[in-house]
Amino acid sequence: MFADVTPRHDPPRLLVVVAHPDDETYGCGSLLLHAASEGWETTVVCGTRGEAGEPAPGTDLAGRTLGEVRERELWEAAGVMGVARLALLDFTDSGMEGDAPAGSLCGVDAEAVTEAVRAVAADVDPDVVVSLDASDGHRDHTRVRDASVTVAAERGVAAYLQALPRSLMTRWAEHMAGVRPELEVYLRNADLGTPDEHVALVIDTSAHLDARERAIAVHASQTSPFEGLPPELRRDFLTREHLVRA
């Protein structure tokens, strides 16, 4: 699956590190499904319960907190994707802006996050570590990405970042400009996505589309970033994994 990696374990071990429930599915869902189908033992580390998110319109929390609902969705989606192990860290969601709350991913020292990821990695002993590339600008994604890359380097194992290629994001921008013309100037001038030539690995995951869609549906409290896309564009987002070597 990773052509330049010679796994040290049988079965080989993949560690995916994300910040919030749904990052594992929206970002790395097809990779997790593909890895499991190829016989890899997959572990997901999630930094928070996503407490600072906005529930999708019409969400009924049924007396539970949003964090409780999102945690349950995380566990269920992990089951759909064949994740062998799920580790939930004790940080809280920092939110998108303003002062990061005490105890949140960005409200603690960066070394505290790195140490938490380091502890899980020491137990899992992964052959490959994957995180999101944080190109969306969310500070929690950046904090978790940096911790993941640091830990992988310390352990001497390959680290990859899930990315969205510029060619695909250009098509998305063209669609969005048609749907929301007021965004056209911004979309036309924004540097969206990763330059295609920087993508080190592309994995065809089309065989896992149905399972990926089921995992996405589990995160009912969240609005999917793929909602409302034309079928062909949605499929292209969900059936190719693009990874940058970190």
- For 93-144, write each residue's pLDDT tens digit: 999 999 999 999 999 999 999 999 999 999 999 999 999 999 988 999 999 9
Is 158 in the same domain as 168? no
Q: How far apart are CA 125 and CA 148, in angstroms?
A: 13
**What total number of domains does the chain contain?**
2
Judgement on whether residues 118 and 137 belong to the same structural domain of the protein? yes
Question: Is residue 228 in a domain?
Answer: yes
SS3 5: coil
| Mean pLDDT within 211-230 | 97
Residue 1: inside a domain, yes or no?
no
Q: Could you give phi then psi for residue 28, rounded to 5 degrees?
A: -120, 15
Q: Which domain range does residue 193 map to?
A: 164-198
- What is the CA angle 48-52-54, rounded to 5? 125
The Cα–Cα gap between 23 and 59 comes to 19
Q: Which of 240, 77, 68 is nearest to 165 (CA)?
A: 240
**Statement to judge: residues 218 and 171 lie in one domain:** no
pLDDT tens profile 34-89: 999 999 999 999 999 999 988 999 899 999 999 999 999 999 999 999 999 999 99
What CATH number corresponds to the domain at position 143?
Answer: 3.40.50.10320
Both 168 and 83 in one domain: the answer is no
Average pLDDT of the chain is 95
Are residue 128 and residue 188 in the same domain, yes or no? no
pLDDT for residue 187 is more than 80: no
> Which stretch of DSSP H or E encloses residue 17?
strand 13-18
At 181, which amino acid appears? Answer: P
For residue 96, the tally of other CB atoms under 10 A from its CB is: 13
Q: pTM for the whole thing?
A: 0.95
Residue with tokens 């890359």: 149
> How buried is 60 (Cβ within 10 angstroms: 0-12 exposed, 13-18 middle, 19+ buried)?
exposed
Query: For position 5, what pLDDT does the model report?
Result: 95
**237 in a domain, yes or no?**
no
Instruction: For residue 207, give the DSSP letter.
Output: G
* 3: in domain: no
